Amino acid sequence: MQYYRIIVAALLAFSLLAAPAMAEKITVKSDEISAALEMRKNMGGYIRLSGILTDILRNLKTGYANNPAAADTAVAQEAEDLLNEAGLAVSQDDYEESFAILKKATDLILGAIDRYNSRI
């Protein structure tokens, strides 16, 4: 039984020490984002772009959780707030404003990914 505890402790220590080394860079398809930004400014375009940004932001938050030394949670929160603000603009049928906000969120998220990738 004692050996079991030692093995578990050793595996846990290894996983904690090796986690930063196992961190992966976050990749995005910039052509997909560019195409979504150029879509018609309507509900379909909003759903497409906000969905892409939400997926990317989720990947960024996962990267932050896996590599706390590279985390910039304030930027992630600001990006999430922008996505919510864009949703509010859409609910008021203001698609131009929504896409302007989504453009800000895109720039913020892509900048955060560049900084994250440079830290790991």
Q: How far is the C-alpha of 33 from the C-alpha of 103, rounded, in Å? A: 10
Please give the model's pTM, rounded to 2 decimal places: 0.76
What was the pLDDT predicted at 85?
A: 98
What was the pLDDT predicted at 40?
A: 93
Residues of the domain holding 107: 25-119
Classify residue 62: in a domain, yes or no: yes
What was the pLDDT predicted at 22?
A: 56
Query: Tokens 């949670």, residue?
Result: 73
Report pLDDT digits (tens) over 52-106. 999 999 999 999 988 888 888 899 999 999 999 999 999 999 999 999 999 999 9
What was the pLDDT predicted at 53?
A: 96
Count the neighbouring beta carbons within 10 Å of the beta carbon of residue 13: 10
Q: How far is the C-alpha of 43 from the C-alpha of 29, rounded, in Å? A: 22
Q: How far is the C-alpha of 32 from the C-alpha of 35, rounded, in Å? A: 5
Taken as a whole, the chain contains a residue count of 120
On the question of pLDDT at 1 being above 90, the answer is no
Report pLDDT digits (tens) over 4-54. 566 655 555 555 554 444 568 888 888 888 899 899 999 999 999 999 999
> How many domains does the structure of the chain reveal?
1
Classify residue 20: in a domain, yes or no: no
Under DSSP, is residue 36 helix (H, G, I), strand (E, B) or coil?
Answer: helix
Classify residue 3: in a domain, yes or no: no
What was the pLDDT predicted at 9?
A: 57
Q: How far is the C-alpha of 33 from the C-alpha of 39, rounded, in Å? A: 10
